[in-house]
Structure 1
Amino acid sequence: MQNPGEYYSRQYNARAAIPDHPYIFTRWVKESAHARRTNAALLDIAYGEASGERLDFFPANRGGAPLLVFIHGGWWRSLDKSDFSFVAGNYVRAGFNVALTNYTLAPAAPIAEIVRQQLRALAWLYRHAEQYDFDAQRIVVAGHSAGAHLAAMMMAARWPLLEPDLPADLVKGGILMSGIFDLEPVRHADFVNADLKLDAEDAGALSPAWMPQAHPAPFITAVGGLESDEFKRQNALIAERWKENHRSDVPLPGTNHLTICDAFAQSGHPLFEASIGLLSPPPADA
């Protein structure tokens, strides 16, 4: 019988499966630096007290536009919002505001605290919509990998229980890319759980696949055709568990766990266009 730790480590170690991942990360850093030079941006805005509780805001060139909130991945323990500035440009050019959130990385913070930080980030953005001139009634959350887990947790959040001034439908849509929605296998993946320190209780309490959506917000899913069976299973799982509001799964043949972010950022790509569809206000007679 195959050792579950070895199996899950192989299935979830996406970097090991992508030989050119150092090149991809380097390219992202360069493209992100260019995005910050060529777009208006408000950087490192504090949404909380911890040093990791910061966000970057890329404003649209029109007032009252919807807001796309992007949560980065990296197994909750690596990468930074600044590595993903490149995703903002084409959404801004299409007329949307973009916020990219950070969080305290594991092991300095457990996943439960990282979730709480993202709750604070979304609540902060909702309360500051007038100041930053975006439509508080059109907030869509997107996430990649561990960030997709956090985005799904935002879709499962019961906002009025967090603070009474927050609406149940604070999140109007979701874009879940190559996410982890059932954390039970992750605690068997030694390469990452050495930092996360998940136990069975944590895995159950922090798995959005085993929670209902708190509000019927539409969402799309996507996973790369070159990704592992487990990432594909996770993607199908959330689509099935929340099927009443699942709008579409965007097929991505030839895409891996990292280049899915390039697809998300690329104007005209089916994933970009599906994301724009979630951000666009519904017709007046809808």
Structure 2
Amino acid sequence: MLAAAGVAGVSAALAGCAEEPSGRVGGVPSEPERITYGDDPSQWVDLHVPDGASRGLVVVIHGGFWRAQYGAEYGAPLAEDLVGRGWTAANVEYRRVGNGGGFPATLDDVHAAIGAVAADVEGPVVTLGHSAGGHLAAWAGGRTRLERWADGPRVTHVVSQAGVLDLRAAVAERLGDGAALAFLGDAGETAYDQADPLGQVPLDVPVWAVHARDDDTVPFRQAEAYVDAASAAGAEATLVEVTGGHFEVVEPGSDAWAACVEVLDSIG
């Protein structure tokens, strides 16, 4: 999820990362395959496939406060880094608030995107998302328990990077100038019941909440509240504290990204 004040800095940081060693174990084998899963221009996935055997699939879900002005370009460096580490990586674009998204359309898109790339995957299917994408990654981990999204491939692991995991708190605190309320729209309790990760606990898949205590965009307590509630309910949930504010978790080459890679290494 990208605060307006931070877009230029993040763009520069991501551009700079392209010129620095990422720690990848191999080169990117080829251009990704563009897969469309609907008729809207925002309904597509770029699928990166490694040379040789794949370790599994990582579905990369970008942030941006669910808003249309922030797109999948922010997930591309992560997908490129992951494919070099032997993962099949799917960088997902989806409809956002301002271009036909919001509840439930954005959730429909994430569900459909996972179905488009994960149906025949052997090995783990991991959702990894940053900020608003962290919300969507965690939601996807439990989506098949809900009737609307019951038919589709299951996610086996979730990695939330500075994710919005408590929508009620996000609305109460007006994170992103009311972005969570804009995403939920006027659906009321139905939206919370179907879209709030905190309300979904306990999941039956492991969740890692990677978050920096000095995050000034999505508060660290979002991760703490989720992990505490999930653990109390008997779920497998791990809080991974990093440094670097809101954005270093999506900067290949940073210590915060290395912590995400370490989580993935523990999976496959």
What's the RMSD between the two structures over aligned residues? 3.3
1:223-242 correspondence to structure 2 within 5 Å: 223-228=211-216, 231-242=219-230
Bigger Cα Rg: 1
TM-score by length of 2: 0.80
How far, CA to CA, are the matches of 1:52 and 1:172 in structure 2? Answer: 25
Q: 1 or 2, which has the higher helix percentage?
A: 1
- 1:219 counterpart letter in structure 2: V
- Hey, what does 1:153 align to over in structure 2? 139
CA distances 1:21-66 after superposition (whole Å, capped 9, x unpaired):
513223325656999x955232432022222110111111123530
Question: Is residue 110 of structure 1 aligned with residue 94 of structure 2?
Answer: no
1:94 counterpart = 2:85:
yes
Percent of aligned pairs with the same residue? 18
Is contact 2:218–2:246 with CA below 8 Å preserved after alignment?
Answer: no
Secondary structure in 2 aligned to 1:111?
coil
Paired with 2:80 and 2:9, the residues of 1 have a C-alpha distance of 21
Partner residue of 1:177 out of 155, 161, 165: 161
Change (3 A) 1:236 1:40: same
| AA partner of residue 270 (structure 1) | A
Matches within 5 A, 1:231-270: 231-243=219-231, 244-253=234-243, 255-262=244-251, 269-270=258-259
Measured in 1, the distance between the counterparts of 2:78 and 2:29 equals 12
**Deviations 1:162-219 (Å, cap 9, x if unpaired)?**
577645xx111010111112222433527244853635436523211012345x2112
Cα 1:208–1:164, aligned 2, differ >3 Å: closer, same or farther?
closer
- Give the structure 2 partner of residue 119 of structure 1: 111
CA distance in 1, matches of 2:31, 2:266: 24
Whether 2:34 is the aligned partner of 1:48: answer no
- Tell me if structure 1 keeps the 8 A contact 2:131–2:218: no
2:170 and 2:207 map into 1 onto residues whose CA distance is 24
CA distance in 2, matches of 1:38, 1:166: 29
Distance in structure 1 (CA, Å) of the matches to 2:96 and 2:149: 25
- The worse-fitting range, judged by mean Cα deviation, of 37-46 and 234-243 is 37-46
Q: Unmatched 5+ residue regions in structure 1? A: 1-11, 281-286
Q: Deviations over 1:122-158 (max 9, x none)?
A: 112123x3xxxx42x4111111100011011111112
Figure out how many residues of one structure are paired with residues of the other and give that number: 254
* Residue 186 (structure 1) aligned to one of 170, 174, 183: 170
Q: Could you state the TM-score of these two structures normalised by the residue count of structure 1?
A: 0.76
Q: What is the deviation of 1:263?
A: 5.7
- Contact kept, 8 Å, 1:91 with 1:98, in 2: the verdict is yes
Q: Which residue identity is paired with 1:73?
A: G
- Displacement of 1:120 after TM fit? 0.8
